[in-house]
Amino acid sequence: MVSNAHPLDSELRLVLFTSAQDFVQEVEPFDDEFMNFGLGMVMDTFKGTKTGTFHGSAGLNSHSTGGTFAAVFEGERLVLTITHTTELPHLLSYPTTVSLSLLALACALLAASLDLASIRQLWGPKEAIAALLDAAPSLHAAPPTFTEIACSASLKTLLLPSSPSRGPGDEANTGCHYEICFARDGDTLPLVDLACAFSARSRWPSPPSHVVLDNLRDAIAARALYVIRAYQSGDQTVAEQYDLAGYLLLGRNTPRSASIRNVFVAPEHRRRGLAEIMVRSVTRVCLGAPDPGLAEAWRV
């Protein structure tokens, strides 16, 4: 572990970590929704999971990886991280409590301490990328490959979900009630159809069905995949007879945050609020708040 101080701010110091495990152990206490990107990516890469789930630092490679794992601290407070491995681009992350002025100083320290000429692709919040580009004039920014609008929620904002409602066009399957639960092995084949339907609406190329099947099996084994089961109301004779109305695939998970990779509800089962119920219920459980939504069935 190597530490450099900012020449204009003695409280700022850059720490270079020799392993992913050391990086995670130092950065994990500052985990929040903005840190999910950088911290979660490092956890995913060195845990070796395809589904992006991770609930602790056990299993991370403690040896040198040849990547970059660096963090800027103000005293003992985390300000900014930059990470890079052979499997990931350079990633910038910072906690939500960091001001833009402090972020600019941290980026200046990065530019003065690291050789940034090797950066070919840079991901992160636009404020962090802009601050680093301002601090390192030698970096020439090409037009962004893509941009995404980030949104987040906390337990304070995640109210308990209400039952879904029907609206115009929701006449089909009005005799169903729905249940949210972990996917199981028997759900794999019908899930392939749902996943392919989701991919068909995406801007990204659809993967082959056998790749989808393997990924779904991995996600089920990692308990990263939830489904909505649709039961016909009034038919209690065979409890195991149900259709899959939709699914939710978790992405990067850190101890204090959870990201959602895919949410999809089949067109014939769409109700106002059904997808929202699934997102709220699963997120609350991931963040440690017991939610009756995973034990109840909603009738519409």
Tens of pLDDT, residues 128-184: 999 999 999 888 777 766 666 666 666 666 666 555 555 444 444 456 788 899 999
Does the global pTM surpass 0.75?
A: no
pLDDT in tens, 205-251: 778 888 999 999 999 998 999 999 988 765 554 556 888 999 999 98
In a domain, 58, yes or no: yes
Rounded to whole angstroms, the Cα distance separating 263 from 276 reads 9
Reading the block at residue 84, the tokens are: 């890079």
Range in 88-92, 215-219, 283-287 with the lowest mean pLDDT: 283-287
* pLDDT confidence of residue 256: 78
| 14 & 128 share domain | yes
CATH number at residue 265: 3.40.630.30
| 7 & 100 share domain | yes
Beta bridge mates, 225: 249
In a domain, 170, yes or no: no
* pLDDT confidence of residue 35: 85
Residue 91 dihedral angles phi and psi, to the nearest 5°: -120, 130
* pLDDT confidence of residue 98: 95
In a domain, 47, yes or no: yes
Closest CA to 65 of 93, 44, 85: 85
Residues with Cβ within 8 Å of 169's Cβ and at least 6 positions away in sequence, in order, are none
* pLDDT confidence of residue 61: 44
Range in 2-11, 213-222, 238-247, 256-265 with the lowest mean pLDDT: 2-11
| 253 & 129 share domain | no
| 131 & 8 share domain | yes
Tallying the residues shown for the chain, one arrives at 300
Mean pLDDT of 99-109: 96
In a domain, 228, yes or no: yes
Residue 162 dihedral angles phi and psi, to the nearest 5°: -100, 175
Residue 294 clears pLDDT 90, i.e. is over it: no
Concatenate the DSSP letters of all residues of 166-200 into one string: --TT--TTTTEEEEEEE--GGGHHHHHHHHHHHHH
Residue 85 clears pLDDT 60, i.e. is over it: yes
Q: 61, 22 in Cβ contact below 8 A?
A: no
What total number of domains does the chain contain? 2
Of 82, 107, 135, which residue constitutes the final position of a domain?
Answer: 135
Q: 187, 244 in Cβ contact below 8 A?
A: yes
pLDDT-based confidence at residue 77 (cuts at 50, 70, 90): very high
Q: What is the CA radius of gyration of the chain?
A: 22
User: What is the number of alpha carbons within 13 Å of residue 207 lying toward its C-beta?
Assistant: 10
| 130 & 182 share domain | no
Task: Collapse the DSSP code of 221 into the 3-class scheme (helix H, G, I; strand E, B; otherwise coil) and give the result.
Answer: helix
Rounded to whole angstroms, the Cα distance separating 107 from 110 reads 5
Of 79, 106, 135, which residue constitutes the final position of a domain?
Answer: 135
Mean pLDDT of 76-95: 91
Residue indicated by tokens 């190329």: 205
Reading the block at residue 96, the tokens are: 């939500």
* pLDDT confidence of residue 157: 65
Residue indicated by tokens 């993967």: 207
Domain extent, residue 122, equals 2-135
| 109 & 42 share domain | yes
In a domain, 217, yes or no: yes
Closest CA to 54 of 214, 221, 252: 252
| 113 & 189 share domain | no
Of 135, 164, 197, which residue constitutes the final position of a domain?
Answer: 135
| 44 & 104 share domain | yes
In a domain, 276, yes or no: yes
In a domain, 112, yes or no: yes
